[in-house]
Amino acid sequence: MTRTKRRVWQGGMVAGGIFLLLLPLLIQSSYVLCLIDQVLIFSVCVIGLNYITGLTGQNNLGMGAIFGLGAYTTALLSVDCGISPFLCLPFVILMGLLIGYALGRPSLRVKGIFLALTTLSFGEIIRILETNLQFTHASIGVRGIPSYRIFGFEFNTYGRFYYLALLALLLVGVLSTRIIHSRWGREFIAIRENEDSMASNGINVARVKITAFTLCAVIGCIAGAMYAHMINYIHPTDFKADLSIKFLMMLMLGGIGSILGIIVGCSVVTLLPELLRVLDDYYMLIFSVILLLFAVWKPFGLVSIWRDIQGKIIRRGARFEATRKETENDP
């Protein structure tokens, strides 16, 4: 990277950082801030889904249930047991570890559509239990979930919560980027490309799959816990199977394996329906058509548009450099 390109990149990063820090101050609508907070939380969750569905290639239609279990774990502990929201985090992570192992084991025996049906069934079982068990507050839902508080500062508005969600997304994004480019990431992709070859080369396929499911579940539970403390009320219908489809849609639309693509996908799927509500009863139809067109036009996700632009810039730069050298070499 040349000095000029580096300066442009650094300048863009600084400008983007300033914009993100000032964004809550520029938006007066609490509803819009709530949507932006949801985009950040959903992005964290879909980064977790990327490990198992994007990198490892395993079908997971239970992400909504994982998200909901994280929400219910922290909600019940903070409301019924009086535990501080931040102190609930270790229990949320423990729940993610248990779910990851419980879902990872079936992936060793079933694949493809059968694994998808297994995770979908898991999600429906969890939703039914949340709806009917008394200690989960049954169909009433959990009310009065406290907001996060640290050193007396309470994240009790969408504007304040924005910074907490942004920090969580940055931390998970950086960690995930390092994992993707590590040995774990290479093993995940190798499982997706050729599982039998991995096994024949002495790689413990069971360990890799369970690791991917565990990372997915832990991050999904953390995102669910953040959602509960942001919205302060959860209900079993918040975590139906369509939420899992929504998360999968965000991943596929944005671009598998790309953190930036995931954020773009979450933004489009969350914000676009709100912009189309002026169309009244037809807004979901128009939204579905737009998604279908994007899926046909850019099957590798919206992030591929940026990659195409980068490729064109690099090729034009290379042609310009070659022309300049030829001109200098001419007598």
In order along its 331 residues, the chain shows pLDDT tens digits of: 556 556 666 666 777 778 888 888 888 888 999 999 999 999 999 999 999 888 888 888 889 999 999 999 999 999 999 999 999 999 999 999 999 988 888 777 777 788 888 888 888 899 898 888 888 888 888 999 999 998 888 898 999 999 999 999 999 999 998 998 888 888 888 888 887 777 777 778 888 888 999 999 999 999 999 999 999 999 998 998 889 988 988 888 887 778 888 898 899 889 888 887 777 666 667 777 777 777 666 656 666 666 666 566 656 656 656 666 666 665 5
267 belongs to a structural domain: yes
3-state helix, strand, coil in the chain (%, to 5): 80, 0, 15
322 belongs to a structural domain: no
Core vs surface per residue 279-309: b (16+ CB within 10 A) or e? eeeebeeebeeebeebeeeeeebbbbbeeee
**For 120, what's the count of Cα atoms within 13 Å in the CB-facing half-sphere?**
11
292 belongs to a structural domain: no
d(CA 43, CA 172): 10
Are 86 and 93 contacting, i.e. CB atoms less than 8 angstroms apart? no
d(CA 129, CA 108): 26
| Most distant CA atoms of the chain, gap in Å | 88
Q: Is the CA virtual torsion 225, 19, 149, 146 positive or negative?
A: negative
Core vs surface per residue 103-116: b (16+ CB within 10 A) or e? bbebbeeeeeeebb
What's the number of domains the chain is made of?
Answer: 1
d(CA 28, CA 14): 24
6 belongs to a structural domain: no
The CA-atom distances, in angstroms, between 88 and each of 71, 116, 158, 222, 257 are 11, 30, 21, 10, 30
270 belongs to a structural domain: yes
* Amino acid letter, 220: G
Query: Which CATH number does the domain housing residue 123 bear?
Result: 1.10.3470
d(CA 136, CA 75): 9
Task: List the domain range (segments joined by +) for residue 221.
Answer: 27-281
83 belongs to a structural domain: yes
7 belongs to a structural domain: no
297 belongs to a structural domain: no
pTM to 2 decimals?
A: 0.86
Burial class (CB in 10 A: 0-12, 13-18, 19+), 140: exposed
